Amino acid sequence: MTMSQEDFGAVVSAHHEEIFRYLRRAIGPAGDAEDLSQETFLRAYRAYAALPKDANVRAWLFSIATNLAKNHFRSETRRRRAYGEVQGGARASTSTTQEAELLSREAGGLVEGIVRRLPFKQRLAFTQRKIHGLDYGAIGKNLGCSAESARAHVFQALRKIRQGLDGYGLLPGEPAR
């Protein structure tokens, strides 16, 4: 048995904000995240009628959003490379320095900054697990890897976040430097 198109409005209502927040953390600018969020639900709508009734709709939506985020990341990387070549190999910086950016943020903003600099798969695995609560099997499926690899990506992300916070004396139980 499959899902009906009439049920889809409830799916959008239940998951739109969460998918948007996930994409916002995964790719950055809110405008891009909103565009990808809308594209996620457009693609989901087109395939919804064929989705089995017992399917995990939330994990399915995260899978679609993850694939769109991967494509966005690839196209942005190609665009930056092309821009760098046009500029004679010089890369444009979006912030003055990493240190100045981190020092100007509060602890929550500091973590967000560290997360944004994680390698793409680590960033996606971390946000899917720690922010959205997906299990490692679903994360692995979304990232195209095993559950163990997904677990390793989350572990590596947490290690890098701890290292980043340690550099500012912000780990729990330690005085700030």
Identify the helix (H) or strand (E) that includes residue 146. Answer: none
The predicted-structure confidence for 112-135, as pLDDT tens digits, reads as follows 788 888 998 999 999 899 888 889
Q: What is the pLDDT of residue 81?
A: 64
Q: What is the pLDDT of residue 115?
A: 85
Q: Does 103 lie in the same domain as 43?
A: no
Q: Does 138 lie in the same domain as 105?
A: yes
Q: Identify whether the C-beta of residue 68 lies closer than 8 Å to the C-beta of residue 40.
A: yes
Residue finishing a domain among 60, 92, 124: 92
Contacts of 127 by beta carbon, 8 Å cutoff, 6+ apart: 22, 25, 26, 115
Give whole-number Cα distances, 77 to 6, 23, 93, in Å: 38, 17, 14
Q: Does 86 lie in the same domain as 2?
A: yes
List, for the chain, all residue ranges whose pLDDT scores fall below the cut of 50: 85-97, 99-105, 174-177
Q: Does 149 lie in the same domain as 87?
A: no
- Rounded CA-CA distance 157/124 in Å is 10
The predicted-structure confidence for 86-104, as pLDDT tens digits, reads as follows 444 444 444 444 544 444 4
